[in-house]
Structure 1
Amino acid sequence: MIIYQTTAEQFVHDITEEVLVDRLYEAYQEKIGRTSKSEIRSWENSLSRMSNVLTDPEIPSDVDVAIEFNIPSTSKRVDFMIAGNDGAQDHVVIVELKQWEFANKVEGKEAIVETALGGGIRETVHPSYQAHTYAALIEDFNEDVREENISLVPCAYLHNYFVSEDDALLDPIYDDYTSKAPIFRKGEMRKLRDFIKKYIKGKDTKNAIVRIDQGKIRPSKSLQDALANMLEGNEEFKMIDEQKVVYEQALSYFTKCMEDGKKRVLIVEGGPGTGKSVLAINLLVEVLNRDRLAMYVTKNAAPREVYAAKLQKTMKKTHINNLFKGSGSFTKVEENEFDVLIVDEAHRLNRKSGMFQNMGENQTMEIIKGSKLAIFFIDENQKVTFADAGSIDEIKKYAKQFQAEVTQLELVSQFRCDGSDGYIAWLDDVLQIRETANRNVIGMDYDFRVFDSPHDVMEMLKERNEKANKSRMMAGYCWEWPKEGRRDVNYPDIVIDDFEMSWNLNTTWAIDEASIAEAGCIHTAQGLEFDYVGVIIGDDLRMEEGNIMTDPSKRAKTDQSLRGLKKYAKEHPEEAAQIADRIIKNTYRTLMTRGQKGCYVYCTDATLASYLKERLQYVKKEEQYLQQVAERPALYE
């Protein structure tokens, strides 16, 4: 999605006539629905500088420019693009605009610099790295760009940044990125013009910006598909912005731990789809490549089984089992036995281990004890059982016990749900988990629908699944999972009127081709992702008098999510009720954020279904209204 697109001539005119802010604001309201004129004015200085850059008789006035392009399947935006042709090939020059005045070099962390951000001096990615990875992401996602041989040329323009003799940004440690995406600073406007004119000598022939904006998007590589290549040392996922910061911080900690032997703990907080699992696997690969002992740890068996299945052709089973461990594997661990333990879904850690929760002392403590560096990826809003004890406070408590240095970082960029931060916030608001500003998801490029029949959801999923085997049905745990008929896909575990479906037969349900006919639950879906998901919301969630109500009694007896809660409720009734409410809501929030491209919902409670449809209808009305405002703004002033 592009916020603003026009010719170079019209862009310069809009800047000169001081109407660009209003036009950008109108476009934002129409397409995104959440910004302010003050936020847009903060760009005005940068955009005015770009207007000056384009005021050159050798830059054709009819070439296309675009502002704020949303990279597909992410929440990241390209600041400025110029499309043209050099006489032989179409090019799009990508310009990352920065208002930085200075930067400091950061030793020992690849592509990381320090500058003034958010009221302090903070680490962030080098502008050249940012521009380069944005271009690489577009190439990775957009088939039209590849097939039409449209060249993407990244650069960065820091118009407030004074040139100095020993400029940190041009230090040789950043050469790999400045060579791919050169930097232009204050006083170097002519150099930037010359750079642009190398590639933009006439109007492009293939409508390049439209192809970038509307081109066919190749489905993103899922983690389970790419794991084998990653473990062979290939870079399957581009890490951008704070992902790269976290990755380099983790490696910096790792280097220090290996050098000084001191124990360290890194906590990485991030919501659904922020790339926690991708980072965890990338870090595992890098540590292994440095010939150090590392393991990927998660309580969820399903991701481990999926990864193991994907790796069977390239690795021995014993090697696979040594890389991927359950969180209960460290009850007898020696102190600092492992160099690095990388814990995914750390919110799912239990206190004790074993089938009867009678082994070990505390999983969080054991992981910190057993490693020189423990990295915890956590989202406390994805706790889905009463036994889930992993928390940031718990990690810090045991880090202090072992005198470990602690750093806490956050991931915010969204790579699932079509890169829509708005969808996640809207879902939290809809499920009444927390009130958010996203009561209406304006510009949500995410296929969310509510169906009146589970048959209709199933038919839609089957159609979606034909393309890549990446669509699955899921359900709340409101139907028993009996031992009888467990190996028979035709055994009707889930029955809704004339609709019948079996729970999944194997933990590799996420990749088994026949599994489109099986339903997954929270325990087999958490930690994995798909293109499209169907979610059956059972009787444990309903709508009454405008309130989302949860009912633990409607959970299946075979479900262990609320095990122990009844006993706890005898002494803490109010707190137990709150815990059960959050577990049930978190369960559906987690299921409804497994899809990269869409989520299709059926509710057994008709009132809840009507409520979801009403919320969607409200969004559509808001979008229509804002479209009218954009088309005839004078009528609404």
Structure 2
Amino acid sequence: MLAYLATKKKFLEDAHIIEDLVRDAVKQNLGLGVGQNEYSSWRNSLGNGMSHIIASPDIPDDAGIAIEYQINKLKNRIDFIVSGRQADGSESIVIIELKQWTSIDYSELPEHVNTFVGQKNRDVVHPSYQARSYASLLEMYNEYVYETPVRITSCAYLHNCPELDVVNDSRYEEALRNTPVFIKGQKKEIVALISDRIKSGDGVELLKRVDASPTKPSLQLADAVTNMLQGKEAFVLIDEQKTVLETIVKTSLQGLKGPKQVVIVKGGPGTGKSVIAINSLSRLMGQRLIARYVTPNAAPRAVFEVKLKSAFKGGEIKELFSGSGNFTGIEANDFDVLIVDEAHRLKLRTQYSKGGDNQIREVIQAAKTSVFFLDEAQKVTWKDIGESFEIEKFARAMGAEIHHLELKSQFRCNGSDGYLTWLDESLGIAEDSGNSFNDANYDFQVFDDPSKLYAEIRKRNKLNNKSRMLAGYCWDWISKKDKLKFDIEFPKFNFRAKWNLESRGSAWIIDPNSIDDIGCIHTSQGLELEYVGVIIGPDFKLIDGCLATEPSGRASTDVSLHGYKKEFKENPELATIKADQIIRNTYRTLMTRGMKGCYIYCTDEQVASYFRDRLAR
């Protein structure tokens, strides 16, 4: 959807008040509020920046100029577009990502730089990568663009930045390959790029056609998505998993013409929920439906993006994945299908979105068919609301047909139902029926020395990079601000370690160097390993021989129990029950990440003895 659209000639006439015109257009055409920072950026980037570029006589007067073009249903916006025709008469668009940055440093995150944004230095996506990803979205989703076809060129313009050294560094070679970045003093270079692609006008009409075009995955994208799982054994479906997949596909096709469809798929750890979710995305996108894989947790999305990236040329794979907080204000039925993995982690409202009220309601409203994969025993923070009852409530309110599916066969923990039963009873999640742990196929051990535990996990990891350390979030993340410090230390055992480094991103768990890190519930839920080492902290203690929880044992930097103290003042009994459930669920989740084995170390020796006794009985 277009905010501001004009010819070059009209844009130059408007340049002295362009920030006012764009502000009004964004409010009226996109329905979005405008803050002072954004308003000021338009004055600097458009009135003082692009107007001097566009004034060049080498750019035709009837070239089209678009500002703040909302490119997709999730409201990503392109800063600046110049449109028209090439020398051979074919239609052409130049996308320009505008940045006001003055100084830029390197980032440890791939395809990121570090600069001053929002009152402090932050790691942000390299502007060339951002511009190229927007170009890919047009090429892959805009029916007019890919069927005509329209040539899309992308670049970035950092009009206040005097140095090219960082943004043009070889580490950003992939981002820069087809999307150059220009800085202060490079007016001639950016004019040369635009004038080479735009030789004649008629650009306004072209942009109107693009804006009016349906959004639908191209055949090229559909083929890429269909092929992305080929040869990947980890995504092969078995027995009831295949049945659930086919039911989701069938229901989604019904949702295109009939009433809304809501599918609720329940399954415990290792039943294949995520594998089915990705296969569903592949099948539905292959049929050119507008579908997204959604998770409240960033970690599963990041890992899948890395694993499946090879099937795609541009940044379009990121468009297939979304967080759960992106659907506030989305028009009803804008998506054909939304597939929500880890749905038990959905929140009451989106933290950074104005007007957000309930993520379950927002997802159901935004899609013709919504699929929710959930395990209610994996609700691990105070704000998690994903329950079957809540989903059904909103589905009925919107007249949706509700389908219930269940996955019972589990393939994690070496298929050991005995281990899962024993673990649930040991953690106090299920009633103790006296079950013993007698499954020789699953390797569970209690270590009395965290250094020895870590050494064993390192040994296992050398085989295939599929073993990691995790811990309850009982230690503050002090290394985030001071990289020389360690977060978890046990001087008695000469042990010290850091939480997973922020520089590794959300996909830390598959980073070949991350064996030196320790992950927590927020960076491991929804993922699996072969062997997992878990440090059980002081949020567990033993009272009269029974395993009890201690909320005060959690770190102050952990958001899982944010809200506990307030609710405890209002209703101590309910707050205590809820906190107890969250802590137990957290360790259940951590201790079921390992496919072949789980090794634990407990900071409380009585808790360690408790697990040893249950293991031996």
TM range (shorter): 0.5 to 0.7
In structure 2, the partner of 1:423 is: 419
> Closer, same or farther in 2 for the Cα pair 1:562/1:295, shift >3 Å?
same
The structure 1 residue matched to 2:251, chosen from 238, 250, 253, is 253
Deviation at 1:340, TM superposition (A): 0.5
Deviation at 1:310, TM superposition (A): 2.6
| Contact in 2 for aligned 1:425/1:438 (Cα 8 Å) | no
In structure 1, the partner of 2:587 is: 588
Deviation at 1:542, TM superposition (A): 1.5
The one-letter code sitting in structure 2 at the alignment partner of 1:525 is S
In structure 2, the partner of 1:344 is: 341
d(CA) in 2 for partners of 1:484, 1:246: 41
In structure 2, the partner of 1:458 is: 454
d(CA) in 2 for partners of 1:261, 1:316: 35
Deviation at 1:312, TM superposition (A): 3.5
1:404-424 superposed Cα distances (whole Å, 9 cap, x missing partner): 000111101011000011111
Deviation at 1:243, TM superposition (A): 1.5
The equivalences for 1:590-609 within 5 A come to 590-609=589-608
Question: If the length of structure 1 is used for normalisation, what is the TM-score?
Answer: 0.59
In structure 1, the partner of 2:556 is: 557
| Contact in 2 for aligned 1:228/1:310 (Cα 8 Å) | no
Matched, 1:334 2:328: no
The one-letter code sitting in structure 2 at the alignment partner of 1:570 is K
d(CA) in 2 for partners of 1:293, 1:233: 21
In structure 2, the partner of 1:532 is: 531
In structure 2, the partner of 1:493 is: 487
Deviation at 1:548, TM superposition (A): 0.8
Secondary structure at the aligned position of 1:612 is classed as: helix
The structure 1 residue matched to 2:238, chosen from 234, 237, 240, is 240
d(CA) in 1 for partners of 2:337, 2:313: 22
| Contact in 2 for aligned 1:425/1:436 (Cα 8 Å) | no
Deviation at 1:554, TM superposition (A): 1.2
Deviation at 1:433, TM superposition (A): 1.0
Deviation at 1:228, TM superposition (A): 8.5
The equivalences for 1:109-258 within 5 A come to 231=228, 233=230, 236=233, 237-258=235-256
d(CA) in 1 for partners of 2:232, 2:534: 33
d(CA) in 2 for partners of 1:228, 1:468: 27
Deviation at 1:496, TM superposition (A): 1.6
In structure 2, the partner of 1:373 is: 369
Deviation at 1:229, TM superposition (A): 8.7
d(CA) in 2 for partners of 1:229, 1:255: 17
In structure 1, the partner of 2:193 is: none
In structure 2, the partner of 1:133 is: none
The one-letter code sitting in structure 2 at the alignment partner of 1:520 is G
Secondary structure at the aligned position of 2:391 is classed as: helix
> Closer, same or farther in 2 for the Cα pair 1:504/1:590, shift >3 Å?
same
Secondary structure at the aligned position of 2:264 is classed as: strand
Matched, 1:311 2:305: no
CA RMSD of aligned residues (A): 1.8
Deviation at 1:385, TM superposition (A): 0.2
d(CA) in 1 for partners of 2:437, 2:240: 24
Matched, 1:299 2:293: no
In structure 1, the partner of 2:285 is: 288
Question: If the length of structure 2 is used for normalisation, what is the TM-score?
Answer: 0.61
Secondary structure at the aligned position of 2:311 is classed as: coil
The equivalences for 1:9-158 within 5 A come to none
Deviation at 1:482, TM superposition (A): 2.4
In structure 1, the partner of 2:383 is: 387
| Contact in 1 for aligned 2:225/2:285 (Cα 8 Å) | no
> Closer, same or farther in 2 for the Cα pair 1:267/1:464, shift >3 Å?
same
Matched, 1:482 2:478: yes
Secondary structure at the aligned position of 2:241 is classed as: helix
> Closer, same or farther in 2 for the Cα pair 1:313/1:602, shift >3 Å?
same
Query: Any gaps of 5 or more consecutive residues in structure 1?
Result: 1-226, 619-637
Deviation at 1:354, TM superposition (A): 2.2
Deviation at 1:321, TM superposition (A): 1.8
In structure 1, the partner of 2:127 is: none
d(CA) in 2 for partners of 1:228, 1:529: 23
| Contact in 1 for aligned 2:479/2:498 (Cα 8 Å) | no
| Contact in 1 for aligned 2:226/2:286 (Cα 8 Å) | no
In structure 2, the partner of 1:613 is: 612
d(CA) in 2 for partners of 1:242, 1:546: 40
d(CA) in 2 for partners of 1:248, 1:305: 26
Query: Any gaps of 5 or more consecutive residues in structure 2?
Result: 1-223
d(CA) in 1 for partners of 2:445, 2:306: 32
d(CA) in 2 for partners of 1:403, 1:228: 31
1:487-506 superposed Cα distances (whole Å, 9 cap, x missing partner): x3x63111122310000013
| Contact in 2 for aligned 1:342/1:376 (Cα 8 Å) | yes
